[in-house]
């Protein structure tokens, strides 16, 4: 009896990505101070799945981000540092979350983002997330890109809408928050054909 076929290996993404104002590149160990600065702020991590990071938490997160350079299968992700004029202003994630068939490449991915609050309001999140969506559909064989967020995070909800994503669902009390209370989830999605029409 033979083993089950494995999904085809995906090529590493063509990095860095350059937009009008930004450079999106892999995360490196020397990004520790900048990432640690904004991820230590409770107002930044308020709606994220991790609390404000202490030194140990930062080490674990940075190790994961630095290693996330060439995802190929479900569960793996790509992490990108976002630079403006040589300064790291945030980071993005594209995580493969599902595939259509056991031997198929990933077909659905989830977007995520974290930005330093002092750079808010300048369009950096929109510009960089749009570039990541273009990479998601232009480089990978994805059918759908999605984002899941706390509905109280109105800034991220507005970002999803600026990216052309549709508000598809609002599930009630489906995750346990860090303080022990139950929280809701808002789901936004964008299909390949919708992206192509943007």
CATH superfamily, with its number, for domain 17-197 = Gcn5-related N-acetyltransferase (GNAT) (3.40.630.30)
Give the pLDDT of residue 62: 97
User: Measured in whole angstroms, how far is the alpha carbon of residue 139 from the centre of its chain?
Assistant: 16
pLDDT tens digit sequence for 141-176: 999 999 999 999 999 999 999 999 999 999 999 988
Cα–Cα distance measured from residue 115 to residue 135, given in angstroms and rounded to the nearest whole number? 20
Give the pLDDT of residue 49: 86
pLDDT under 70: residue ranges of the chain: 1-7
Give the pLDDT of residue 6: 65
Cα–Cα distance measured from residue 11 to residue 72, given in angstroms and rounded to the nearest whole number? 8
pTM for this structure?
A: 0.93
H-type alpha helices, the chain? 32-39, 42-45, 55-67, 124-139, 154-162, 192-197
User: Is the separation of the CB atoms in 157 and 167 below 8 Å?
Assistant: yes
Domain map (residue ranges) of the chain: 17-197
E-assigned strand segments in the chain = 17-18, 22-26, 77-84, 87-99, 106-115, 144-149, 166-176, 182-191
Residues facing residue 90 across a β-bridge: 82, 115
Give the pLDDT of residue 103: 80
């Amino acid at each position: 009896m033979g083993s089950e076929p494995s999904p085809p290996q995906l090529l590493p993404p063509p990095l860095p990505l350059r937009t009008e104002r930004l450079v999106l590149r892999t995360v490196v160990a020397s990004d520790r101070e900048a990432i640690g600065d904004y991820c230590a702020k409770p107002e930044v991590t308020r709606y994220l799945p991790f609390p404000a990071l202490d030194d140990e938490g930062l080490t674990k997160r940075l190790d994961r981000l630095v290693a996330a350079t060439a995802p190929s299968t479900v569960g793996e992700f790509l992490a990108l540092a976002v630079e403006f004029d040589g300064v790291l202003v945030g980071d993005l994630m594209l995580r493969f979350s599902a595939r259509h068939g056991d031997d198929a490449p990933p077909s659905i991915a989830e977007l995520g983002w974290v930005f330093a609050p002092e750079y808010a309001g300048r369009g950096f999140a929109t510009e960089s997330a749009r570039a990541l969506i273009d990479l998601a559909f232009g480089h990978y064989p994805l059918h759908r890109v999605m984002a899941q967020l706390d509905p109280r995070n109105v800034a991220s909800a507005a970002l999803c809408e600026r990216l052309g994503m549709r508000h598809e669902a609002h599930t009630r009390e489906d995750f346990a928050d860090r303080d022990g209370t139950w929280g809701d989830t808002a789901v936004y999605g964008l299909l390949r054909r919708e992206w192509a029409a943007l």
